Structure 1
Amino acid sequence: MKIIIGLGNPGRKYGKTRHNVGFMAASALADKHGIRLSTKAFNSLIGRGRVIGEEVAIALPQTYMNRSGEAVKAILSRKKTGLQDLLVVCDDVNLSLGIVRIRAGGSAGGHNGLTSIIEYLGSSDFARLRIGISKDTGSANLSGYVLSTFKKAEEAILDEVMETSADCCETWVKDGVECAANQFNLKNRKEGR
């Protein structure tokens, strides 16, 4: 079974914020495949179903971003799934809106949700799909920026990014992280992103 975790903060207050694009992308994938994220377990909303013929669990941790690792560790322990079958989807303030990047592992890159997951799992050897949220270089308050909503002019780009993110997740499920990286990271370069 593949596990896809969308990172974000629970509650309406955070629903449309930049920091919640992980929730948005995982939800878009679930919607595309008719997977209901309605089961409450492991401090998460979880749904199970099939994506490209493979059994997949999609989860949205309800622990708030900085404690995402608690939920992820519980899910992996219960599902008896290894890190090779885990994909974490999150925002990245250092990537422009419209860019998605998938990689097999690496550092947290200053992302508190990834930091929590790495600490709880004791490893950074899991795939992550980072979604650019366009850094506002004039903003000194990073926390305020990531918790802000998207501007009207950014919403069309965001819709396209959700489709691209779902496609990238599907490729990861079917063909693995290397194939997904070759297809989607290269697409960003070809489009000048």
Structure 2
Amino acid sequence: MKCVVGLGNPGAPYALTRHNIGFLVVDTLAERAGKPVKLLECEALTGRMTVGPESVLLVKPQTFMNASGQAVAPLCAKYGVNPQQDLLAIVDDVALPFGRLRLRGKGSAGGHNGLKSLAAKLKTENYARLRIGIGPEHPVRNLADFVLGNFSAAERAALPELTTRAADAVEAWVQQGIEPAMARFNA
């Protein structure tokens, strides 16, 4: 079983914030599959889909971004998911231009608190991640306000295409592995 975790913050006030792009991609995958992500287990909303022959657990932690590992680690244990082979985390990245995708097989948290929490609770940084660029066009005074802010009108207009491309990248990772998916989707 593969486990695809979209990182974000629960609740209506955060639904369309830049920090919740991971949730939006998981929602896109769930819509494609016609499978809701609504079962509450291990402090996360989960759902199942199939990509080719592979069963995929879709996860939206409900612990808030900075405590994402608190939900993900118990789910990995419950379902026997080996993070180093079968986990993909989807996160926002302010260092990447808006709309750019970057898949990696492992790496550091790079200052992302959600990834720091995953690494701490999973006791490894060796899991795949899909970073989605939300970077501002101009410098911002308060980075926290920016990532917790709503998408601009132009960004909202681009979201369907962006979440579709990101969902395609996730499915490529599931079916072909990290290297072919990186070659196809990393610009």
With structure 1 as the length reference, what TM-score do the two structures score? 0.94
**How many angstroms does 1:18 deviate by?**
0.2
1:33-182 alignment to 2 at 5 Å? 33-83=33-83, 84-182=85-183
Q: Write the distance in 1 (CA, Å) between the matches of 2:20 and 2:135.
A: 13
Give the CA RMSD over aligned residues: 0.9
**How many angstroms does 1:156 deviate by?**
2.4
Letter in 2 for 1:82: N
**How many angstroms does 1:158 deviate by?**
1.8
Cα deviations by residue, 1:14-73 (Å, 9 ceiling, x for unpaired): 000000000001110111111210100010000012123311100100000000011110
Q: Write the distance in 2 (CA, Å) between the matches of 1:81 and 1:153.
A: 38
Q: Which runs of 4+ in 1 moved over 3 A?
A: none
Matched position secondary structure for 1:129? strand
Q: Write the distance in 1 (CA, Å) between the matches of 2:137 and 2:109.
A: 20
Partner of residue 2, structure 1: 2
**How many angstroms does 1:159 deviate by?**
1.6
Matched position secondary structure for 2:46? strand
Matched position secondary structure for 2:95? coil
Letter in 1 for 2:103: I
Q: Which runs of 5+ in 1 are unaligned?
A: 189-193
State which drifts further: 130-139 or 23-32. Answer: 130-139
Partner of residue 12, structure 1: 12
Q: Write the distance in 2 (CA, Å) between the matches of 1:121 and 1:137.
A: 35
CA contact (8 A) 1:97 1:158 kept: no
Matched position secondary structure for 1:95? strand
Letter in 2 for 1:161: L
Q: Write the distance in 1 (CA, Å) between the matches of 2:107 and 2:9.
A: 23
Matched position secondary structure for 2:25? helix
Matched position secondary structure for 2:183? helix
Q: Write the distance in 2 (CA, Å) between the matches of 1:52 and 1:108.
A: 30
**How many angstroms does 1:136 deviate by?**
5.0
CA contact (8 A) 2:97 2:137 kept: no
Cα deviations by residue, 1:87-113 (Å, 9 ceiling, x for unpaired): 000100111111011010000010000
Partner of residue 32, structure 2: 32
Matched position secondary structure for 1:30? helix
